[in-house]
Amino acid sequence: MFQEAPPSLVPAVLREYGSLTREALSQYLPSHEPRRHLYDLVADYPNRGGKMMRPSLCIATARAFGGRLEDALRCAVSLELLHNALLIHDDIEDGSEERRGLPTLHVQHGVPIAINVGDTLTLLSLRPLFENHRQLGPRLSMRILEETEVMARESAEGQAIELGWRQDNDTTITEQDYLLMVLKKTCWLATIYPSRVGALIGTRGRIDADRFIRFGFYLGAAFQIQDDLLNLVADARYGKERDGDLWEGKRTLMLVHLLRHCTASERERVSTTLAGTREERQEADVAWLRERMEHYGCLEYARQIAHGLAGAALEEFRAAYAGLPDSRDKRFIEGLVTWVFERS
Amino acid sequence: MSDDRYHLHEPQRTGPHRQFANILSSASPGSDPDHGGVDETSEAAGSFVAEGVRSAYQVVDAYIRQGQRVARSLGLPSYEPPVPVSHVNELSARWIQASSELMAIGFEFLGSLAESMAAAGYPYPPRPGRGGHAPTPPHAPTPPHAPAVRVHFEIASSRPAQPDLQFLPGRQTLALASHGLRTLEPGVPTIPVEFEPAEHEGCVLVRILVPPDQPAGLYTGSPLHAQSGVSVGSLSLHLR
**Residue burial B160-171, b: 16+ Cβ < 10 Å; e: rest:** ebebebebbebb
CB contact under 8 A, B105 and A137: yes
Instruction: Report helix, strand or coil for A161.
Output: helix
* Cβ atoms A162, A177 nearer than 8 A: no
Expressed in percent and rounded to 5, the helix, strand and coil fractions of chain A are 75, 0, 25
Look at residue A61 in the predicted model and tell me its pLDDT: 98
* Cβ atoms B63, A214 nearer than 8 A: no
Look at residue B7 in the predicted model and tell me its pLDDT: 66
Residues 6+ away with beta carbon under 8 Å from A276: none
CB contact under 8 A, A341 and B18: no
Look at residue B143 in the predicted model and tell me its pLDDT: 47
Tens-binned pLDDT, residue by residue, of chain B (240 aa): 445 666 666 655 555 555 554 555 444 434 444 444 444 556 666 678 888 888 898 999 899 888 887 777 766 655 443 444 455 665 676 677 677 667 777 777 777 777 777 666 665 544 444 444 444 444 444 444 455 778 888 888 888 888 998 888 878 888 899 999 998 888 889 999 998 887 666 788 898 988 888 988 899 998 998 888 888 888 999 888
Look at residue B73 in the predicted model and tell me its pLDDT: 72
3-state SS, A234-261, equals CCHHHCCCCCHHHHHCCCCHHHHHHHHH
- What size, in residues, is chain B? 240
Query: Along chain A (344 residues), what's the average pLDDT of each consecutive run of 10 residues?
Result: 68 97 96 94 93 97 96 97 97 91 95 98 97 91 95 96 94 95 97 97 92 95 94 68 83 96 95 88 91 95 95 94 94 95 76
CB contact under 8 A, A308 and B101: no
Give the chain B residue whose CA is nearest to the CA of A207.
B82
Any B CB within 8 A of A242 CB: no
* Cβ atoms A28, A81 nearer than 8 A: yes
Look at residue A244 in the predicted model and tell me its pLDDT: 82
Look at residue B41 in the predicted model and tell me its pLDDT: 54
Counted across chains A and B, CB pairs separated by less than 8 A come out at: 129
Any B CB within 8 A of A179 CB: yes
Interface test with B, best of A207, A226, A307 (most B CBs within 10 A): A307
Q: How remote is the C-alpha of A58 from its chain's centroid?
A: 14
Residues 6+ away with beta carbon under 8 Å from B216: B159, B239, B240
* Furthest CA-CA distance within chain B: 131
The Cβ-side half-sphere exposure at A28, using a 13 Å CA radius, reads 28
Look at residue A318 in the predicted model and tell me its pLDDT: 93
* Cβ atoms B214, B221 nearer than 8 A: no
**DSSP type of residue A6:** P
Any B CB within 8 A of A29 CB: no
List B161's β-bridge partners, or say none: B239
Angstrom CA distances, B1 to A270, B5, B6, B7, B8, stand at: 75, 10, 13, 16, 19
Q: Which of B23, B28, B52 sits opposite A341 (nearest CB)?
A: B28
Look at residue B117 in the predicted model and tell me its pLDDT: 72
CB contact under 8 A, A295 and B78: no
Look at residue B87 in the predicted model and tell me its pLDDT: 58
Measured torsion, CA atoms of residues A86, A136, A205, A316, in degrees rounded to the nearest 10: -50
Distance from A214 to chain B by nearest Cα, in Å? 7
ipTM of model: 0.81
Distance from A234 to chain B by nearest Cα, in Å? 12
3-state SS, chain B, equals CCCCCCCCCCCCCCCCCCCCCCCCHHHCCCCCCCCCCCCCCHHHHHHHHHHHHHHHHHHHHHHHHHHHHHHHHHCCCCCCCCCCCCCHHHHHHHHHHHHHHHHHHHHHHHHHHHHHHHHCCCCCCCCEECCEECCCCCCCCCCCCCCCCEEEEEEECCCCEEEEEEECCCCCCCCEECCCEECCCCCCCCECEEEEECCCCCEEEEEEECCCCCCCEEEEECCEECCCCCECEEEEEEEC
Distance from B82 to chain A by nearest Cα, in Å? 6
E strand or H helix that includes residue A47? helix A44-47
CB contact under 8 A, A309 and B60: no
Distance from B38 to chain A by nearest Cα, in Å? 5
CB contact under 8 A, B59 and A303: no
Look at residue A101 in the predicted model and tell me its pLDDT: 87
CB contact under 8 A, B63 and A213: yes
Look at residue A248 in the predicted model and tell me its pLDDT: 86
CB contact under 8 A, A301 and B48: yes
Task: Find chain B residues with C-beta within 8 A of A316's C-beta.
Answer: none
**DSSP type of residue A277:** -
Distance from B106 to chain A by nearest Cα, in Å? 12
